[in-house]
Structure formats: structure tokens, C-alpha cells
Chains A and B, each alone.
Chain A
Amino acid sequence: MKTRAAISGDLRRVTGLIESPFKTYLQLSLLLVTESLEPALGAFALKGLLDAFVALNASLVWRAALVFFGVTVFGALIGGTGVSMRVRLVEELARRQREALMRSGVEMPLLQFEKLPRGDLASRLTSDITVSSRVITECYLLARVALRAFAAAAYMLTLNWQVALACALTGPVTLVVSGTISRPINKRSMELQTAIGQVSSEALNTLEGVQAIKSFLAEDSAEKRFLTRASAVRLAAVRMSSVFALNAAWMGTGSLLPFAVTFGYGGYMAVQGRLTIGGILALVSLCNNLGWPLAGMGRSLANVRRSLGAFRRVTEILDLPRDVDPVPADGHPEQHVIESEWDLPPDANLAPVEGAAITERADSLSRAGTTDPSADAIPEPEDAGLSITVRGLSFEYIQGTPVLKDISIEIPAGSLVVLAGKSGCGKSTLIKVLAGLYRPYPGTVFIGDRDLHYEASWARTVTLYLPQEPFLFSGSLRENLQLANAEATEAELRQALSIADALEFVERDEGGLDRKVSERGSSFSGGERQRLSIARTLLKRGAVLLVDEPTSSVDRESEERIWSSLLLAMKGKTCVVATHRLEIAARADLVFVMDGGRIVEYGTHADLHMPGTVYSSLVGETGGVMAG
């Protein structure tokens, strides 16, 4: 069967996670056999004790009590060993899966990561792993129930086969009824989980907007929305508990079926002298392993399935492709240099835009020259800038809706370039491609002489990327900064902070660089976070600065300080800035205007700032802000 093959495949993968599978499985098997025999041994000891009782023989009672105690101790030791062994196994699997998931989260392409629903990976890391780690344990427990039932049945047969058989016949009845009752459990529990998920996201959303809700006096309607969700949880929980209540009733009554049979039939046998009292009670005690646990087997099986399902959700992520630079056939990615046709005229001056807007075309590209070829020799990233060549680049997040369409641009080494355009025009995506976060395809992107399709990691080495939203990690400020450069000295840290206009407020706090950063940096204001993020980026050192409108929550004065020191620090390096700010566009060597994923105009600010251009409509009459 296909599913069976899939299950065995999953189990093999689980086995692969265990450090020493052979030893583990051997130990588990030994444990399983011993644990399965335990109830039969217990019943044997009990029978001896009770028969001694009924015989009213003191010395026999003592001896039987000793045996009984011995069996108890044995059972306790085995049981204790079993518990700690299984816990260890569960935790080992959990650890391996956590490691693997985190690793694949880090190593998968960013695009892939962003396509996963929000919080999906985190939920797999937490709730799924707690379930999936139990997969072997759940199988073990299932096997133990079956084996115990088997051992118990065997011993029962030797005690009195007629009673044992009658007793065993009750098994299927118990199973069928219990199975029927528990059938809706999975569905109901899914319903409940969904309802809980909804109530929690509703609550989060409401509380995050509490200020707006207050402003609009919408407390009552927000509360009503929340109540609807919370009532759905209650309804789902009550529906589920009705199934459980039926189950509880059946467990209470129905699972006593074998006992009733044993007592009735066994009593009759005993009256006839064919079974002792001890025998009856031993049979009854063995029945413990037939009716009740077998009835629960459906649930154990469901547990196994659930943990396998969770494991599959984990492996689904592990099987996603990694973001590894593909090694081309010749095995030397470094050799993928710009082909000869890209040797552009040495004229580094850009063709000025004449007149009004010029729609970007591939053929006009050749006019926009790049630096002389010597600049394409691999420079020290710290010293010089690198040129950037984009040719025919298209990009889409979702198939069929391209965000970038056939972009071709040339950015000479050491120049300051501004990307302008309305929000959603593709600026941020282009910046992310240049930063090596998205692998360009189709089309080619070169930074220096390396093709990012093959070496996206090269872009991550040489570029300094400033994201739109600053992100700080919990820990200390120093730890945050050192993420970019673990060996940065105190002086370097301070220098970077000072360029980002952050030194002052960092020093004002007595914690200084050791100040604690709370989760997501919420202990800092938006502007402070942004400045810290700039400082961190600067510490990385690189030849190309890529900026995605970083200063939106910094005031103007500070912004100007940051820009002047940032541009000073990046002097001689290539800077690509997606921004709203006119002052920067005015300073730029070249401005590319984007619209709908295409470059629609380019030239200097002076060239473009003319009536009728898209650029001038972006700049608008305000004269201060460009489109965002």
C-alpha cells in the first residue's frame, strides 16, 4: 500500500535522526518484551497470594507476599527505566528536529521563506515538534498494548481456557463501540484548534490597535468581535467534550464487560471447583490488559498518526531547497565573468538625458556606460566600489505577477544612484535582488564581475543592505552590532555609531554598549532602532551600499546628519538608494525612475526635473518629498 510505504519511509527518516539507532532500538525491544510480561507476572503473584489467603495458611501467605513484592519491585524498576529512556528519546528527536528546522529556516532562499505563511515555521518549531518527537514512543506504546494483551491472553488460557475465551470475546465488542464513539475526536479537536487560533489572532490584532480603537470609541465593537471568536471556542470545546463524555461513560461501564463475564462464568466454575478464587481474580486483573487498553488502542493509533503527520510537516520544511550557489558545469563559479559583449565603452560619463522623459530600452543601455573594464578586476571590497550591471532582469513573487519587468541598468563603481518611484513600483525588490537576498532569474545581475544568479552569496559579502524596517535582536547592543562583524573593536563600534548619529543616545544611557535590547528592540524608539541598524550595517564593511528608505522614522535634522556622514563614510563606494528624499536625488550621480516594475526614466536630477516627466510628478509641487 502506498501509505504504508510512506509510513515506513517516515520511520526511516526518524531513525536517521537518532544518534545510535541500533543501540536505541535494541534497548527499546528489550524493554518492550519485559514490560509486556509484567502484567502476566503480576497476575501470577496475585493468584498465589489470594490462594494462600483462601487456604488460610499463614506461612503460605508470607511466601506469596514476598513473591508479590518481588514482582512489584521488578515492575517498578523496569517501568522507571522505561520512562526515563522514552523521555530521553523524545528529547533527542526534538533536539535534532529543532536544529534541522532552524538550520533550514536560515538556509532556505529568502523568497521561499517569505512565501510561507506568517508564523508557520515558528508553529512547526514549537507545537509540531512536541508532537512529532513522540513518534517512536507512540509506536512503542501501541506495541506495548498489543503485546501485553497477547501475554495476558496466553496466561489466561493456561488458567482456565473456557473463561478466558469468554472473556476475550468481549474484546471486539469493546473495540467496536469505543471506536465508533471516538471517531469524531480528530475532527472536533481540529475545530477546537482552529477556533483557538482565531481567538488568539483576533486578540493580538485588537490589542495591537488598542490606541486606534480607543480613538474611534470602538471598544464595544472590538469586544463584540472578540466575543464572537471566544464563543466559537466554547462551542467547539463543548462539542468536543460531548464526545469525551460519551467515551468516559463507555469506559466506565462497557470496559467492565470482561469483568462481568469473568465473575459470572468464573464464579460458576469456582463453585464447581474448577477455578480458585485467586484464579478468578488473576483473570480479572489480566482482563485489565484486554478490554480497557485495547479500547484505547484507537486513540493510540490516532496518536501515532498525529505524530507522523507532525513529523511530515517538519520534513516538508526540511525538504525545501536550500539557497546554495549552484556550481556550474565547469565547477568554477568565479569564471562567470562579464562576457565580451558587455565590455562597454570606457566612457564613464553617462549619456545625459535630453529633453523630456526617456523610456528605458535595452538599446539605450549601451549609452549608459559603465566604468572602464579595469574596475572589474576584483577589488578589495573595503577600498573601492564595485560596478553593478543588471540586464533583462524580471522577478516575481507569485507566478504570473511580475514585480520587476525586464530591468536593465548600469551603475558605475563609486557612484551614488537613486531609485525613485511610487510605493509598489519594485524598488525594494530590486534592492533585495542586488543585496543577494533574492536570486535573480530570468536576467543577469553582476556586481563587479560576478553573476549573482550563480553567486548570490557574493552579493551578500560585498553589499551593505539597509532594510526598510530595522530589526534588532534581543541581547545586548554590542551583540547586535557584532552580528555584522564579530571582531569589531570598541573604536570601530563607536565610529559606526557615530556615523549613524547613534553614539550620543547610546552613551547617554548608563548601560552604554551593554544596554539590553528587548525582543525586537522595543526598548528603543523607531528612530533609534533605525540608527542602530545603520550602525550595524556599516560595521560589516563592503563595497556597495544598498539603502531601502531607511530614515522614515527619523526626524529631519538627524536624517541630514546621518546622510552626510553616511555618504562621507561611503565615499568612493557604490551607493544605491531607494528614497523619497529630494536632497539625495539632487546629489545623486544618476536617478532611475521606476514604475510598475520597469525603469521608465533615468538621468540626473537636473535632467529629469522638468515638466512632463514622471519624475517631476513624483517630486510634486511640495518640492520636498518624492513619491513613496
Chain B
Amino acid sequence: MSPKPSARNDKDGGDDKDGRKGKIETSDRAREEGARTERSREKRPDSWRDVRDMLSFLGAYWPLYIVCIFLNICANLAYGPGIAYSLAVLTDSITAKEISLVWRAARLLGLMAAAMGALAGISHFLSNWTLEAVALNIRRKVMSRALRANLSYWHIQKTGDTVSLLVNDTETAKQGLSLLHGLVGDIGLIVSCVVTLIAWGPGTALALFVLAALCMFVGARFAEPVGKVSDEYQAETANTTSAATELLSGIAVVKSLKAEPIALGRALRTVDRLYGVARKRGRLLGLQYGATAITQGLSSVGVLIVAAFLSLRGRMTVGQAVGVMQLASLPLNVFGSLGESWATIQQNLAASRRLKVSMEIPVERDAGDALAEGSPDARGALQPDARAALHPDPRMAPRPEVQTGLQQSHAHTALHPEDTDFVLEFDSVTFGYDRERAVLDGACFRIRERQKAALVGPSGGGKTSVLRLIQGFYEPWEGTIKLRGKDVSSIPLKELRSQVGIVPQEPFIFPGTVRENIAMGNEQASLDEIIRAAKLANAHEFIAGLPEGYDTVLDERGGNLSGGQKQRICLARAFLKDAGLLLLDEPTSSVDAESEALIRQSVDEYASRKTVLAVSHTEGVVEGAGVVLSVADGKVTETRRRD
């Protein structure tokens, strides 16, 4: 018994959460479940290194973390030896029948309680404040990396997984850090209790060790099977969730195929499997609870009996024997829950391992300076020229090299209108996404200044790959790509991309206003410029018809726009960017013919000033292209229509 609730943790998922020391679980259960669903069952190669890695997330916050640990230990000192001592004094003064002593001892007890409460509150808040800051830092680092990762990273990584890293794993890692300082505090508790026990009567300490070993043994017996069944449970939960999500996403198809019974049956089978595992888990948890409770009960009685006999022989006061109950039960509780804490820590470590990995994914060349490392103001430390490249605005921060490059090429073109000066050159470029199969195999072509080029060919033939290579998303295996005579791989990516505009196949709309979405092409653009670009893309009319015009907020993925409207916004964005080379990847696939004709005019006008490379399976925008590049079987065939 102790003047605090005993810390037997009910294990049926937060049955009674009267956890130790009045700590309240900070996360609610649903979030915890979500985090666990994600956990993997990788083998742990080196736990210490993982712990070190997890601690490295603390970054500049480590002194605060140490303070948290210190506060924790102080609270535990009050909680363990402090209260045990007060109890001993109290009991002795009662047996001594000294009322004034009783009052004094009661005061001592009250003091300890107050200290404990205050320390618990402060350490809770401080720890949360610190760890939330750490979590923010982790999220920022992961996002920063992910945004600058090589595009090939997304071939193996699902975006959903990264989102789960950012949301769930970060949360889990944060809990790990919190659990870790709790564990250090627990060690402090055990040490202080044992020291007090030795001081009062070494026999009790010995008994405690023996019985604690028993508790740990029983705990360990269950740790393995419970861990296994919990993993199974998580895996089945994840299965059920994804089966259900899939069923619902494809519901129209299922209905039209009249495949409801089959599809529903498949999903329901996962529910049944989950239930089977869940029942097994329930039985095991019950057994574990029972066994732990029995060994802990046995142990408390054992220590008490030793204390009783010590006091019978006069080696210990009765008060100390009572105090022993508090001193012994606390470490026993910690030992009893050690198995569980260990299992949780493993999950947390797995999460932090995944985070660590995601913080080390390869990023694109010269993206390093923009990575958010260390202090939150890292962005402020950007090189001035890098900053200029970030905001390609001809009026305010001219891109020196780009601009001069353009002027040079203009001059050059004027001198030799026929040859030599090409905006884009592919010289025997070989490239593929996996080593087995080359998508482009020795592709050669050249595009001249102020030309409209069409890129045609079967799907999967490599058209989109050409566009990606130009933007430096990938490096060719062999051969060179030159932009205005300069090898693309030697041009800093920011500069390269500021020279290239793109309308992608899948329109990208982010949550924000129409204006913000278009201004992505040039953040400094005025509303007039934006409207001009929108008119070029034949988007002005429908935008003006939106409830709040250019200030209409588009929701997630532009759900309130049609496919064609989204495409036109992306076109406007590219027109606004007004880059030297415009890449169009099926820019009008969901646009009506009327708009398409207007867009074609704008594209032609663009091509009369700059250069356009357009992918299309149908004529449309590419009609009247000066050069048609057919991509097939990895080769590019040039057909010049007119010069």
C-alpha cells in the first residue's frame, strides 16, 4: 500500500489510466492507435545506436531535456524516499503516542505531497513544451528533405507513407523521448528506494532484489508473445483499414460490375481475421495481467514479511517497516511495467529510425543550402544569389546569368539564324528508371530558339521522361543534354528550373486562392500580370465567374474546379513564369476545343518570343509545330515541317 494509487497498469488499452505519479496520457487513444498501425516489425540491429539517434533529434533543446530529467528525478525522490520517510516518522510517533510528533510528521507528509505535485506539474509542462518544439523541428527537417529529394525517391516511397512519417511517426518519436526521460526518472526512483532500504535494513533490499528478479522473469515471459500478437493485431488492423478504404474508393466500379458480394466479402474477411487475432490478444492480455498481479502481490508480501521479522528482532522500527511498503512497491511496479515500456520504446525507436532515414534521403544537387538544418532561421542564411534564383523576377531580382544567357542567345540567333544556336540539345541520351530497361536509348534532337516543337509517341515511350530530364529531375545514364549550349548537369538546378516553365500532365493545385496558385509562377507578380496570364490561358473568364474571383479559395487539389479549369490555371501559372523554354505535357487534355484554340494562339505567341516543347497525342496545341519529335523505342525521330 502507499498513499498513492498502486501503479498496476491495466493493459486493456487504457482500462484505467491511473498511471504513475498522476501523469495523464498526453495523447489520446485514437492517435496512439494510429501511430501503432504504422509501426513496422523490423529487427532491431543496435538499440543503443537507435537511442542515440533518437536523442539526436533534440538538437539545441538538449539542455532543457536534461532539466526535464532532473525535475523528474526530484519528483521521484519526493515520491519514493520522501513519502516513505514521512510515513515511517508518522507511524513511529503514533506508536510512541506523541501527539505533537504526529502533527509534525503530518506536516512533513504534506510538504512532500506539495513538492511532488509542483514538480510533477512543472516537469510535465516543460517536457511537453520542449518535445513539441523538437517535434516541430523533426517535421520541418523531414518535409524539407522530402521537398528536395531526388524525384526517383518517389518511385519507391508512397506520399502517404511520408505523410504518416510527418504525422504519426513524429508523434511516436516524441513519445519515445518522453518515455525515455521517464525511464531515467524511474531508474532514479529505484536507486533512491534501494539506497533507503539498505540504510534501514539490508535484508529488505536483498528480498526486494530476489522478488524483483521474479517479477522481471514473469514480465519477460509475456513480453515476447504479447509483442508478437500485438504486432499481428496492428498488421491486421492496417489490412482492414486499407481493404475498407479501397473498397469505398472503388465503389462506383464495384457497383457497376455488380461485384458487391465479392468485393465486400474480401473486405469482410479482413475484419474476421482481425477479430480472430484480437481475441487471441485479449486472452493473452488477461493472462499477463493476472500473472503480473500475482507476482507483484507475492513480492510485496515477501518484502513486508522480511521487514516484519526485522522489526520483531528490533533491527528496524515499526514505522520503517511501514515505510518499506512504499519503498518496495514502487520499484516493483517499475520492474513489472518494464517489459511494456521496453516494447513501447521499441516502437518509438522504429519510428525514429524511419525518421532518421527520411532525414538522410539523397537530395538533388545543390539543394543542400536550402535544407532546414539546425536553427529555425536557416533559411535566412541562404546565399544571396540563391535567394535571387528562388524569386525569379526580372524586375526585382534579376537572374544575372539567365538574363545574360538569354540576351547572348538572342544576339547570336540574329547573327546566325540558321544553325549553331540551339536552345535545347539532346546528344545520344540514354536513360531509364530502372537499370533493366532504358526508356530513352541514344536519343538525339535539337530545338532552336523561338520554335514550337511537338513531342509525340506512344504512351510509355518516354515523352514525359524527356521533359523530366530537361528539368534536371533525373540525370541521363549516358549522353548530354544542353540548354543554350550549356550542359544541364553543370547548371545549378535553381537556375535551370528558372529557365524552364512547365504545364504538367496532372494539374497541381494547392489549397489557397486562385491568385496564389497562379502566382506560384512568379511570386512578385502584380494582379494585372496575373490576369494577363490568366487571359492567355483562357482562364480569366471562368475565374471572374467564381464567387470571389481571383481571391476564391481553392480547396484541396482544386476539388471545386473541373479538370479543364485546373489545367488552365496551371497554364496561366506557366505563362506568368514566362521562362525561356516552355514545356507542355498534354496541356489541354481536358479542355474544350474552343479554349484549346485560344490556348494554341497564346502558345504560338509564346513560341514567337521564346521556345515551346509540347507533348500531345492529338494535334491541338502542337499543330503547326516547326519540328515534330516522335519518341518511340527509346529513339527520337525529327521531322522538320518548316524552318
- Docked-complex contact A248 and B23, CB < 8 angstroms: yes
What are 7 residue pairs bridging A and B, where the CB atoms are less than 8 Å apart in the complex?
Answer: A52-B308, A72-B298, A106-B251, A223-B372, A267-B94, A423-B562, A555-B459
Tell me which residues from 181 to 215 in chain A have a Cβ below 8 Å from any Cβ of chain B.
189, 196, 199-215
Across the interface, name the chain A residue whose C-beta is closest to B147. Answer: A219
- Docked-complex contact A106 and B592, CB < 8 angstroms: no
Contact of A212 among B144, B257, B285, B508 (CB under 8 A): B508
| Alpha-carbon gap, A389 to B523, bound state (A) | 54
Given A95-B275, A267-B106, residue A46 in contact with residue B286 (CB < 8 A): no
New A-B pairs, 5, CB < 8 Å, besides A110-B251, A230-B140, A471-B250: A80-B287, A81-B286, A82-B286, A141-B16, A621-B597
- Docked-complex contact B166 and A199, CB < 8 angstroms: yes
Contact of A46 among B1, B275, B283, B520 (CB under 8 A): B1
Given A241-B26, A620-B597, residue A130 in contact with residue B286 (CB < 8 A): no
> What size tier do the contact residues of chain A reach?
35 or more
- Docked-complex contact B459 and A553, CB < 8 angstroms: yes
Kindly state whether residue B11 has any CB partner on chain A within 8 Å: yes
- Docked-complex contact B389 and A284, CB < 8 angstroms: no
Across the interface, name the chain B residue whose C-beta is closest to A189. Answer: B28
Kindly state whether residue A393 has any CB partner on chain B within 8 Å: no
- A84-92, A338-346, A360-368 - the one binding chain B: A84-92
Kindly state whether residue A516 has any CB partner on chain B within 8 Å: no
Chain A residues, Cβ within 8 Å of B308: 52-53, 61
- A149-157, A162-170, A458-466 - the one binding chain B: A458-466
Contact of A267 among B33, B90, B283, B502 (CB under 8 A): B90
Across the interface, name the chain B residue whose C-beta is closest to A77. Answer: B290
Contact of A76 among B110, B255, B297 (CB under 8 A): B297
Contact of B147 among A223, A436, A623 (CB under 8 A): A223
A270-287 contact mask (Cβ, 8 Å, vs B): 1 or 0: 110000010011001101
Residue with the greatest number of chain B CB neighbours at <10 A, chosen from A58, A75, A270 = A270
- Docked-complex contact B247 and A292, CB < 8 angstroms: no
* A-side interface mostly: helix
| Alpha-carbon gap, A81 to B34, bound state (A) | 27
Kindly state whether residue B342 has any CB partner on chain A within 8 Å: no
Tell me which residues from 1 to 59 in chain B have a Cβ below 8 Å from any Cβ of chain A.
1, 3-6, 8, 10-13, 15-18, 21-24, 26, 28-31, 33-34
Contact of B249 among A249, A281, A475, A520 (CB under 8 A): A520
Kindly state whether residue A370 has any CB partner on chain B within 8 Å: no
| Alpha-carbon gap, A50 to B42, bound state (A) | 50
- Docked-complex contact B132 and A241, CB < 8 angstroms: yes
Contact of B461 among A69, A424, A555 (CB under 8 A): A555
Across the interface, name the chain A residue whose C-beta is closest to B321. Answer: A53
- Docked-complex contact B140 and A619, CB < 8 angstroms: no
Kindly state whether residue B639 has any CB partner on chain A within 8 Å: no
- Docked-complex contact A201 and B318, CB < 8 angstroms: no
Kindly state whether residue A556 has any CB partner on chain B within 8 Å: yes
Chain B residues, Cβ within 8 Å of A533: 253
- Which A-B residue pairs are the 10 nearest by beta carbons? A84-B286, A249-B121, A80-B290, A253-B117, A72-B297, A251-B22, A252-B117, A87-B282, A620-B593, A76-B293
- Docked-complex contact A624 and B618, CB < 8 angstroms: yes
Chain A residues, Cβ within 8 Å of B1: 46, 281, 284-285
Given A122-B248, A216-B521, A268-B99, residue A200 in contact with residue B166 (CB < 8 A): yes
Kindly state whether residue A244 has any CB partner on chain B within 8 Å: yes
Given A105-B247, A267-B90, residue A99 in contact with residue B593 (CB < 8 A): no
- B402-410, B479-487, B493-501, B533-541 - the one binding chain A: B493-501
Chain A residues, Cβ within 8 Å of B252: 110, 432, 437, 467, 471
- Docked-complex contact A471 and B253, CB < 8 angstroms: yes
- Docked-complex contact B293 and A244, CB < 8 angstroms: no
B279-313 contact mask (Cβ, 8 Å, vs A): 1 or 0: 10111011111111110011011001100110110
Contact of A251 among B120, B125, B282 (CB under 8 A): B120
- Docked-complex contact A625 and B147, CB < 8 angstroms: no
- Docked-complex contact B91 and A277, CB < 8 angstroms: yes
A63-81 contact mask (Cβ, 8 Å, vs B): 1 or 0: 0010011001101110111
Chain A residues, Cβ within 8 Å of B468: 211
Chain A residues, Cβ within 8 Å of B497: 214-217
Chain A residues, Cβ within 8 Å of B264: 102-103, 106
- Docked-complex contact A423 and B623, CB < 8 angstroms: no
Nearest Cβ on chain B to A100's Cβ, whole angstroms: 10
Chain A residues, Cβ within 8 Å of B301: 49, 65, 68-69, 72
Chain A residues, Cβ within 8 Å of B285: 83-84, 87
- Docked-complex contact B504 and A215, CB < 8 angstroms: yes
Tell me which residues from 215 to 230 in chain A have a Cβ below 8 Å from any Cβ of chain B.
215-223, 225-227, 230
- A255-263, A404-412, A597-605 - the one binding chain B: A255-263
Chain A residues, Cβ within 8 Å of B602: none
| Alpha-carbon gap, A437 to B250, bound state (A) | 13
- Docked-complex contact B128 and A106, CB < 8 angstroms: no
| Alpha-carbon gap, A81 to B286, bound state (A) | 6
A131-164 contact mask (Cβ, 8 Å, vs B): 1 or 0: 1001001000100000000000000000000000
